[in-house]
Structure formats: C-alpha cells, structure tokens
Structure 1
Amino acid sequence: MTDVQTQEDIQAQATRAPRSRKNKIVVAAIAGGLLAAAGIAYSLLGGNGVSTDDAYTDGRAITVAPHVAGYVAALDVTDNQFVRQGQVLLQVQCTDYIAARAHAQGDLESTEGQLASAQSELELAKINYPARFVQARAALATRRANLFKAQSEFLRQHEIPNEATTSHDVDYATADRNAAESQVEEALAQKRIAEPVDLNIADTEAHVKQLQGEVKRGQADLERANLNIGWCDIRAPQDGWVTKREVEKGDYVQVGQQLFSIVSPEVWVTANFKENELTHMRPGQHVSIAVDAYPNLKLKGHVDSLQLGSGGRFTAFPAENATGNFVKIVQRVPVKIVIDSGMDPNRPLPLNLSVEPTVELR
C-alpha cells in the first residue's frame, strides 16, 4: 500500500513540475510587460519632464504716488482692499491749489486784455506810420518852399539900393530866411523819424507776439493749476489689491512719495531653470504647477517665454569671468510660465509664493 502511494506521489509531482515552470514563465512575462509599459508611460508622461523648486509666483505691483504735495484730507482704502481702476483712493487737501488757480486765471485775463490793446495798436500802426511819413515828407516840401521864398526876399533886400529899402526890411528878411532854414532842418528830422515805416510796424508786431507768448504761458499756468486740483484726488491706476500701505489720514505727503502699491490680479510663475534644462524647452509647452502654500491646488499653464539672459547677468554686480580665477557655475535662466487654469477665484495667489512647476518637454 505504501509503495503504491509513493508511486502516485511521484507521478503527481512530475505532472505539477511543468505546470509550475509554465506559471513562472507566464508571471515573469506579465511582470516584464508591466515593467515595459511602465517604462514607456514614464518616458511619455514623466520621463521627458523637467521641474524646479526655484520658482515663485510673480505679477505686477504698481507704486501709487501723488503728483502734488499736501496734507491727506481723506483716506478711502485700507490694507489688502480690492479696488477698481479709477476709484478714488485718497484726497490731498486742495485749498492752496484752488487759490493758485484763481491767481492764474486773473493773470491770464490781464494779459489777454493787454494783448487785445496791442493788437488794436498794431492795426492803427499800419495806418498811422505810413501816414506820418507822407505827412513829414509834405511838411518838408512846404518848409523848403518857405525857405526858397525867404531866401529870395533876403537876396532882393540885399541887392536893391539902400535908398529903396529900410534896415527894418533887411533885418526882417534875414530873420525870415534863418527861421525858414531852421524849419527845413526840423522837417528833415521829422521825415527821418517817420521814414522807417516797416521797422515801426515790426516793432509793434513784436510787442503783440510777446503778449501772445505771455498769454500762452498764462494758459499753461491755468492748465497746470487745474491739473493740480484734479491730482488732489489720487485714483487707482488699475484693478488690484492695496498692498504695503504707508500713509494715514492727516499725513503730509510729498510729490513722488510711495504711498502704497496696487497688486494686479494677473499672476504668473517665474521659474529659474538650470541652463542644461533648457535644451528642449520651447514656448507653448504644457506645465503642471504645485503650490507649496496650497497642496490641493493643481494649476495648469504653459511656457510663455525664456529670458534672454541668466539671472546673474542682470544683478547689480555681474560676475567678472576674466579675472584668472574662473570657476564654472551652472547658471539659471528665468522662464515665464502663464497660468491657464486651476486658479481659485476666492483664493488669489500672493506674489513670491514658492511653487514647483513641471514642464512637459514633449
């Protein structure tokens, strides 16, 4: 009985041995297939990706500063408040600027009156100066005729015999001649004064142009005064959040002083990849972005552009590689990544948060 059982066990074992080897071969083949599939999937999905933890959220932070100096009369915003473009953020006291506008308005009106008077004088000058020249020339001709008459009488009184005249008539003729000569000289002088007609008119025109320039300057002063009053209301240059507020109601602010910043809703990622990671990186490639502050937030984006220069090239003190002690350091190049989807409208991303983007290089 024992011998028969032993023989049957041997036959069973002999039957199971090929099956076991066959099962092992199948399992090995399945495992190899799975490993190959995993390798292919890794190559297609993750093997061609490149990531970096040297990346941060980035955006626009616009500095708000006043155009005019003065005391803050009203402050209409608080820290981290969302504002719309054109919204009044604060008001600078504008009493002095209103008075300056009234003064500029008065100066302009006075100058405009002077200009109107000068323009009238110019029109009169175009008539008067030529007429005065004609009048002076006619007066000279009359005086010369009088001189000729006086000279003739003078000669006649000296040529006739003494018995035919008297000393009184001779003296009278002499005086008339001398007076006529003086009158001719006076007429010559008047003619010389009236002769430069064009110059006299040009002088009046120059005075008009001078006043026209003063009117333009007065208009500019008035426009600047109006601008100053308008600039007393400091408005938001764009939509965004008020950040880093450094002003309070009642403070005295200077022109150009930083009051706060407006952070734009548009946020992107600036990732600093190593230079040897840029070989196959191109604009438009898909990017997966993990945010350290919000682990459950999965963002999708794409490569927008690569900066044409490493970060070290634009530092305040660029490296001097020609000093003889050069040590090669792998450079990092900033890459702009635009976020396409995944943003939570109720949870805006602050600037400079740490993120980890993965660029698919397929």
Structure 2
Amino acid sequence: MTQAAKDRKVVRIAMNGVTGRMGYRQHLVRSILAIREQGGVDLGDGRVIWPEPILVGRREHALRALAVTHGLDPETTVSTDLDAVLADDSIDIYFDAQVTLAREAAIGKAIAAGKHIYTEKPTATGLDGALELARRATAAGVKHGVVQDKLFLPGLLKLKRLIDGGFFGRILSVRGEFGYWVFEGDWQEAQRPSWNYRAEDGGGITVDMFPHWEYVLNELFGRVESVQALTTTHIPERRDEQGKPYAATADDAAYGIFQLEGGIVAQINSSWAVRVNRDELVEFQVDGTEGSAVAGLRNCRVQHRAVTPKPVWNPDLPVTERFRDDWQEVPDNAEFDNGFKAQWELFLRHVVCDEPYSWDLLAGARGVQLAELGLRSASEGRRLDVPELTL
C-alpha cells in the first residue's frame, strides 16, 4: 500500500512556546515537522497519524516567520489568542513549552477545554499545583503526558539494555555529572536565557534538572526515597539579552545525594558554572557487583568484573595504567531516533490508539516534588524523605 493510499488520521496540536529554544528546535523542527517529513506516524494497519501544528504565542511576527520558514500557512497556523485556540473543537492536543511561570495556568485552561495535554517540565512551580493538574486531567478524562526525553538518549537506552540483561549484578551506586560553563554575558553572549538565573522568574538549576534526575533514577534504578542537596549561586551577577547587568537570584549549581529503593546511592552534580572535562555534557557511572558502566548522551562504556584491573595506590610512583583503555564500548545494536521525536510518536499513538503511556502528569509531579524537596533540603541543611505520590 502506498503512503498516499493510507488512511490519514489528522491530529491538530496547539504548540505554545515554539519561539523558545527548546520548543522550536526539539519539539517543532526535530519532532513534529520531522514526523511530517517522514510521512506521519505509520500505525502498520494502513493508517498514519498526521500531526498539524498550530503555533501559539505572544509574538505574532516571530510565529509567522517560523511558519513561513517551514512551509506552514501563517494565516491558518498562527495565533496569539490561546483562549480562541482552546475553544476550537478541531484542536486535539495542547502542548506547552513556555517559561515555567506561565505553564500551570495555560495547562489548566487546556484541561478545562477538554484537550489532551503534552508538556515540558516542570509542570508547575510547586507540588500542589502539579498534583492539581494531574487530578484535573484525570477527572476530565483527557490523556496527558510529560516530556522525559533523557530516557530516549542512546547512551541511556544502552544503559537500560545492560540493566535488563543483568550485566551489573547488584547495583551499588550511580554517579552523575551534568553541566557546562554558561557565559556571564559580558564578553561572550550567554547560551541560556537570563530568566534561568532569576528565582522570581522561575529560574534555577534545581527546578530545571532535578525533575530530569527523578525520572532517570526512577525508571532505571528505583524510586527516590530520600534527598540531601546543597545548592549555591556561584556567579552572582550576569548580563541579560540587552547586555544589562542583573543579580542572579537563582541557584546555578546543585549537588545532590539520593537514596533509592534497594539501597542504591546516587550522587548527581548539576552546574552551569563548570568547565567540561569528560566525554559528554552529561555522564552517569553505574557500579555493580558484577560490572560497571559509564553512559553519556550517545555512548556507553563497560568494564566487567572478570577484566577489572587491580590498581594499587602509590603516590610515589607515576601512573602507568591507562585506565580508560580497560573499558569496552557498548555497540549500538539498534537505530536511535531523536529522543524528543520518539516520545512524541509514543504520545500520539497513545492519543489515537490508546496505547499504554506511563509518563503522565503524575510522573511530572514527582519531578516537581524532588526539586521542591531538594531546595528545602539545601535550605534546612538536612536529608529529607521523599513520600510516594498518589492522586
């Protein structure tokens, strides 16, 4: 059967926040438009899901420019009136990639309008708000999903393969290093928007990254049972998009220790004030009784118990062992698509075919909870339990 002969199931998606870096690059271009370029999501039964994006935001000229650039009709695919878009019965899904402060209210409106929800994280500025969204969406009977893109990274997919295959034996610990130097904006332009560094605007690395660490730890290793964190603002002053100095009121580094079910200990450092001396911008080392692995965005290296060297500490002699040479690269054994696109395809199948989908607004609330408890732990200087969440 040819592509043209297949039954096309059109799904119209209101995409709010696509003029931002993540909303544009990963969600519009590399996900929705890429799905259209491949001919839609093939369901294998003569049907394809065909996503139609409606670009929503405050800056009409920017939205129209995006539409024209990517061959969309600006007269029918651009709107600055969210209420009018949500009132349109032809819209199936509301997607949100706005700044965090604007997200909760917009998702609430979309739920009230009966739209299925797909959103970036954090889903709200606090746990109470995040749980309320999950409750309202469930009560309304709409489908809902939260972006948890790092689960779809090739490096972590390889790591999951190792876990499923029993490679590690009993897992003992996880060490994560994430971050890079974000320029202050004085002599080089910053790579991140200035609101990221203002707590009053919803910024901070803890609220940005702890939701990621929650789902990575929970999905791969076990539920987070406690957290102890230290947060700080290493760079107290930065310059904004107009070159004006401003006080950085949000944390730009967070150092966390997480105890997981089964006794696994995870340590993850997150920093926008660190220079990279590792193979990738994020790396996780997993150590177990039978073997260890180091996974990044794309690659994963392993060392089995049987081939582990036996180093001896002697500071009086030069090191002759090239420790990195003792590790073996894990083969791809599969083709890896863009992680954001892969998750979009799963959510679209969930909406159209009612296929299972577990990364919902309750999962998003767990990420908000961990960030909230991380900040509280840092403020109070103590370890805090992480209660299980239910609706």
Pair in the same fold by TM > 0.5: no
The normalised TM-score by structure 2 is: 0.17
The structure having more radius of gyration, on CA atoms, is: 1
The normalised TM-score by structure 1 is: 0.18
**Higher share in helix:** 1
